[in-house]
Amino acid sequence: QVQLVESGGGLVQAGGSLRLSCAASGRTFSNYAMGWFRQAPGQEREFVAHIRRSGGGTYYADSVKGRFTISRDDAMNTLFLQMNSLKPEDTAVYYCAATTRPPSSRSLEYNYWGQGTQVTVSS
């Protein structure tokens, strides 16, 4: 199995940027498709973005398209989420997830999850 640890969250003003990282250990990172999800207080976990194995293709939720960029560095066993033009509605705990299946926007398709990192965007 693979272990995932997110970092890079914090407090930022609206319009600012943050870069989240997800460090993977255990099994070969490049074998997994990866995704980012987020969960705001009182809301269900929602899909943010996913990336295929070996960086071959990305997909974004409409709410973040054009502002967020998902990427991966297989040599570093790390997944990234660059978040620009942040809005207060982006406030949530952000989770990275790994799957041996093709990448999906459905959280149930992911086998492994990190513990999450808090992102707070002030207005």
66-114: per-residue pLDDT in tens?
Answer: 999 999 999 999 999 999 999 999 999 999 999 999 999 999 999 999 9
Band of pLDDT at residue 26, cut at 50, 70 and 90: confident
Using an 8 Å Cβ cutoff, are 8 and 117 in contact? yes
Share of the chain above pLDDT 70, in %: 99
Report, in angstroms and rounded to the nearest whole number, the Rg of the chain calculated over CA atoms. Answer: 13
H helices of 10-96, in order, are none
- 105: amino acid identity, one letter: S
Under DSSP, the state recorded for 26 is E
What pLDDT is attached to residue 27?
78
Provide the phi-psi class of 80: left if phi over 0, else alpha when psi is between -120 and 50, else beta: beta
